[in-house]
Structure 1
Amino acid sequence: MYYNYSPAKNLFKDTSFFKPGYFSVASFDKPTHILALTYNGAIGKSIRTVGEYAFSNQKYPQPEEQGGAGILHRSAYNFGVESTVPKTNVNINAAYEFVGKSFENNTMAVLMAGTQRAKIGGDGIFFNSFLKLALEYSYLLQSNFSNTGRNNKWGFTVATQSKRYPSVSLSYKPFATFRTFDDTAQIQQKPVLGEVWTAKVNYQVKRKHYSLRFTLVGNKNNSILDTFRYGSSMLQFSTIYTTAKTNISTNIAYSNIRSGIETAVLPAFNNSVNIGLSGGRTLKKISLNGAVDIGFNESGICKYGAGLNAMYRLQQIPLSVRANCRLMQYKLNPGDPWNNLVFAGLTMNWQLKMKVSN
């Protein structure tokens, strides 16, 4: 008898099979009996299989008797298979999950009854680890007593890795999730569907006395909940120059927010640009680091600030003292006055060394 049930192996990374976010009080008057069976095995040397089956049964009073609820609708099961293609670096995986419409679990924080999910994918490494490819297809079906919803998505990742040429990666990944019970107890829970594009370019120049790294990152995402749409985009460029004792870095980022709400909160921040410059110097006893940054949005300058960090190490005793401070001014709306944020801290660290002998 279980009042809280979770399977032994999670085959889907986005949401667990059953993993409640809260615990309800168990009822010994009308308990829910859940029987779970798990399986883990292999076929040959390259195929691995997993599976799980759960059956729930609850004793209803006569007016609440669920007529016609067969064994299948009171069951939940999943199974998966993973395989490696012999003599290659290619992996293939597939999984399927089914939750019956009448599967009872009073501690579930997410409405999973009447849900089916399936996925199939693969990944591989080619050309002496220079190229990595991954592909995945997913299917979602949710049914209740009045309607049925479906979702078909697929995702891929392409990445290169090289010391001589720039490393590039591009990925597209869909997602589907559910609103938790804590959001509302009155409105029927609905799936949230979305997609994320991510791209990254990285290149590093190494010389005898210094190294220089360039990084360009882009991200774009969209999500849909019923008739509400939300999306955002981000583009960031950074570079860092490093020597044995000195480091200097710059960062430029642009962000854009798209919302289906006409009266968005703080709309001036929907399009913003942030620029930052930082540097540091490490000496024998002391290290210094500083940074300045400034932000712009549709109204003009919206924030600017500076910070300083210093650390001093004593030679005679294992004690180090760190002091840091930061000052920033910002305003939320174009007509608002400037607000100040001030932070200062002092930290003392004592290092203990112990010699362990057999």
Structure 2
Amino acid sequence: MTVAATYNLRQCTGGFSLLVLLLTGCGGTPAETVPDASPIPPGAASVAPAPTLPAPRQRGVLTIESPLEDARVKGGGDIRIALYLVDHHGLHVEGATVQAALWTPSGDWFANLPCTDAGRGRYLSDHVTLPLRGAGGTWHLRGKATWNAGQSAEAEGTFEAKPSVSEVYQDRYGFWIEHPRIFGLGTGFYNLSQSGGLHFEDWLHDDGSGYVILDNYRYDAMGVTFAALEIHWRHADFPADEAAAIAFAQSLAGAGLHHQDPDTPLTKLTAETVTFKGHAAWHVVGRGSEYYVSKAAAEYPVEWLIFPCPGSGWLWSMVLSADREDYMEHLRALQESFECPPANPD
């Protein structure tokens, strides 16, 4: 048998074929055979469907409305985060989940603040109070919004804060006292029908003695509402008895007690010994006469705490005055926050 192909892979009598072979002999004609194959019409081949790709994530725009870089805030003050959200078409988004986070100037995380939908794309956090210590410097703010199962937007910004009043006075004079928050209105108030605010006054004499007055007040045609805390330091001996303590307390009224009628003396003065910060102190109480705006005197309580700060070289006093007893309670709590200056190394 003569074979015209290189490979003899077809057996004429067995009837199978693995390749297309051109054969001579075996009584057959050359043929192209595919065993057990049926013709496949064009277009009938099975093709795997293309995988379904996820829809691209749509990103909106989140904008920080407050606080901005030029915000005028300080330690102990309140801020509220305000964010504005639009989708990729520029339409405001409602019903999103929005969070804000704050970092202190030292880089420490401070707070996570959920933001509530206020309508028309605006989201507001609750008020948050900046700390009294370490608030001065650049704060970092980050906001993130998600909605409609996959759409999102983020925003980052910074704002500047000044040191708290507490830190300012500690830096100047060495002592610490908490920033006063009286009347439930934080750092003061002002509107067209009432005037007032949080008033700070400090004075340093040539010999190093001085005083600080923290006064929160408001007034109108009917009179004044006030709460004041004063801190005095002087070269003086610790009072030896009750009479000396009362006399020393009265001597402080010339610089302080801004709401006292200058023509009316303090009355009902008594003194007792107490302990303050682990040391003997004098507690003096009395009554003052307020004279303000309406030109009608009204009595108000006054309290003095006279005490040493070992190593400072001064005799210290705190004076509390207010026209309401609940304000006096608040002032007494602030008084407890007092910290003496570091002892003089001399």
User: TM-score higher than 0.5 here?
Assistant: no
TM-score, normalized by length of structure 1? 0.23
Which structure has more relative contact order (CA 8 Å, sep 6+)? It is: 2
- Structure with the larger strand share: 1
